[in-house]
Structure 1
Amino acid sequence: MRIGVVFPQTEIGSDAGAVRAYGQAVQELGYRHVMAYDHVVGADPEVHRDWRGVYDVHTTFHEPMVLFGFLAALTSLELVTSIIILPQRQTALVAKQAAEVDLLTSGHFRLGVGLGWNAVEYEALGQDFAVRGRRVEEQVGLLRRLWTERTVTFHGEYDRITGAGLAPLPVQRPIPLWFGAQSLPAYRRAGRLADGWFPQMGPGPRLVEAKAVVDEAALRAGRDPSTLGMEGRVSWQGDPEEVAGLARQWREAGATHIAVNTMNAGLAGVEGHLAALETVAATLGLREVRPGR
């Protein structure tokens, strides 16, 4: 089971030096990957008076693909989006950006995708929030074609490409596509289409039920469920033994990866996040692991 970190998007600030220090330090601590969330714009609660979203216009988010270009020059960590809100973005442009990140990391990249929940953001990006589920299924097939074929002709419901392709192609052909999943349709979609998935719950009965749906959908699609990755998340609340216990539970539940999340723990600046991750790394024995290509 590979252990990584959740990039503290909302708390690390906008200083490039802090981003650099974070990326280099987590690699030195023995973590294997960095996971980043995605929001392009935030809604203004002064305008959207009934706003109940987790994030708003005041919440800091670095753009994942640009961030990963920066981190690729500084570390050899695997870089993971969890998740890019795929249906609000242009498919061919996502394919191009992902191919570039894959090249810059020498194939150490996973593209996690999902539907998102913010209709305000969809409007700002010129996409229809109501059709996001249907659109993402079309996009997944098109992404894989763009990453593996020199020239593509595709006339779908939402995208049209006539005799065009990416150059250069990525190292991984295709790039692994992982899905965020927190509903029955999303579990089934992950089983049918994904290379791996990100459960939005901890180990326990709900995870067992969700995984059963994913596995059944994979079997119905003629796929081997054992080939699908699963990445859990463990939140830091000040107790490294609690993190270690949750890591063991994720391993027993069949997780191939976990990420340690230090956001929303009251930590001060990049130093606070790194201090917590150092404590976890020592508890889990990660310093003996040296990631490399």
Structure 2
Amino acid sequence: MKIGAVFPQLEIGADPKTVRDWTTTVEQAGYNHVLAYDHVLGADPANRPGWTGYTDKSLFHEVFVLFGYMAAITTNLELVTGVLVLPQRQTALVAKQAAEVDVLCGGRLRLGVGIGWNQVEYQALGVPFRQRGALLEEQVDVLRKLWAEPVISYDGKYHEIVEAGLNPLPGRQIPIWFGGGADAVLRRTGRIGDGWMPQSAPDEAARQQIATIREAAEAAGRDPHSIGIEARLTLAAVPEEDRRAFVEGWRNLGATHLCVNTMNLGLSRPEDHAAVLAEVLPELI
């Protein structure tokens, strides 16, 4: 099982030196990959009673720009979005940005995608919120076609491309993984996904979710064991004495990857995140 680190962007700040130091420390510690969340806008909760999501005070580095920066300062780390809110972005532009990052990092990008939940963000980006599930499936098809051929034509429900293509191409199919636990997400993962990104405990519910993915994969004529699984270990939510069991539980369920999240530990300095990650990795391998 490959172990990665969650980029602590809500707590790391905007100093590029701190971002660089965190990234290089994580790579030198022996982590396989870095995973970063995606949000474009945060909502001001002042006139939104009951708002519980991210706000305008939540700091989010833009994932493709961030990964372009990380591509230049790393040599081995896989760069993973977890997850990119794909339906609120233009598909051809995402294809271009992802291809560019993959070229610059030498084929180390993995694209985790999801439909998101933030209606405020969708409204601001000019995308209908209700159509996001159906749109995402077509987007995945378009992305893969754009990455595969120098020129394509596409006539879909949401996309029309007439004899156009990307340059440079990534030279491979960038892996596309899905985040979320809804039944539709699980079946979509089995049908067309390269992997799944749960954020739960390795319990019976997770076992049933994996079974649903594998059933959908078999129905689609795919090898169910070719679909990766990336679990999330949030250190603040799992007591220290239970962390090893958490990791082993996911390993026993067939997880291929696991990512360690240091946010919400009450760390007082941004650089402390990298120090904690370096300290806990030997306990998890």
| Normalised TM-score (structure 1) | 0.94
Task: For 1:48 and 1:234, locate their aligned partners in 2 and report how far apart those are by CA, in whole Å.
Answer: 31
Aligned 1:79-228 pairs, distance under 5 A: 79-171=79-171, 173-228=172-227
Task: For 2:229 and 2:200, locate their aligned partners in 1 and report how far apart those are by CA, in whole Å.
Answer: 12
Structure 1 unaligned residues grouped into runs of 5+: 286-293
Task: Say if 1:240 and 1:26 are closer, same or farther in 2 by CA, change over 3 A.
Answer: farther
Offset at 1:241? 4.7
Task: For 1:66 and 1:276, locate their aligned partners in 2 and report how far apart those are by CA, in whole Å.
Answer: 25
User: Deviations along 1:160-194, whole A, 9 cap, x unmatched?
Assistant: 111000001003x2110000021111111111110
8 Å CA contact retained: 2:12, 2:271: no
Task: For 1:86 and 1:63, locate their aligned partners in 2 and report how far apart those are by CA, in whole Å.
Answer: 13
Offset at 1:265? 1.3
Task: For 1:110 and 1:262, locate their aligned partners in 2 and report how far apart those are by CA, in whole Å.
Answer: 21
AA of the residue aligned to 1:62 = H
Task: Say if 1:280 and 1:240 are closer, same or farther in 2 by CA, change over 3 A.
Answer: farther
Indicate the SS of the match to 1:233. Answer: strand
User: Deviations along 1:62-96, whole A, 9 cap, x unmatched?
Assistant: 00000000001001210000000000000000000
Task: For 1:231 and 1:159, locate their aligned partners in 2 and report how far apart those are by CA, in whole Å.
Answer: 30
Aligned residue number for residue 69 of structure 1: 68
Offset at 1:239? 5.7
Aligned 1:40-79 pairs, distance under 5 A: 40-53=40-53, 55-76=54-75, 77-79=77-79
Indicate the SS of the match to 1:187. Answer: helix
Task: For 2:253 and 2:268, locate their aligned partners in 1 and report how far apart those are by CA, in whole Å.
Answer: 33
Indicate the SS of the match to 1:113. Answer: strand
AA of the residue aligned to 1:159 = H
Structure 2 unaligned residues grouped into runs of 5+: none
8 Å CA contact retained: 1:243, 1:280: no
Task: For 2:129 and 2:201, locate their aligned partners in 1 and report how far apart those are by CA, in whole Å.
Answer: 28
Task: For 2:241 and 2:17, locate their aligned partners in 1 and report how far apart those are by CA, in whole Å.
Answer: 31
Offset at 1:46? 1.2
Task: For 1:73 and 1:91, locate their aligned partners in 2 and report how far apart those are by CA, in whole Å.
Answer: 25
Aligned 1:207-286 pairs, distance under 5 A: 207-237=206-236, 240-284=240-284
AA of the residue aligned to 2:37 = Y
8 Å CA contact retained: 1:241, 1:283: no
Offset at 1:108? 0.9
User: Deviations along 1:233-283, whole A, 9 cap, x unmatched?
Assistant: 111138655333322221111000000110111112222212211221232
User: Deviations along 1:88-128, whole A, 9 cap, x unmatched?
Assistant: 00000000000011111111110000000000000111101
AA of the residue aligned to 1:35 = L
Task: For 1:123 and 1:181, locate their aligned partners in 2 and report how far apart those are by CA, in whole Å.
Answer: 21
RMSD: 1.3
Task: For 1:20 and 1:271, locate their aligned partners in 2 and report how far apart those are by CA, in whole Å.
Answer: 10
Indicate the SS of the match to 1:245. Answer: helix
8 Å CA contact retained: 2:110, 2:175: yes
Offset at 1:157? 1.3
Task: For 1:122 and 1:228, locate their aligned partners in 2 and report how far apart those are by CA, in whole Å.
Answer: 29
Q: Which runs of 4+ in 1 moved over 3 A?
A: 237-242
Task: For 1:251 and 1:89, locate their aligned partners in 2 and report how far apart those are by CA, in whole Å.
Answer: 34
1:23 aligns with 2:23: yes
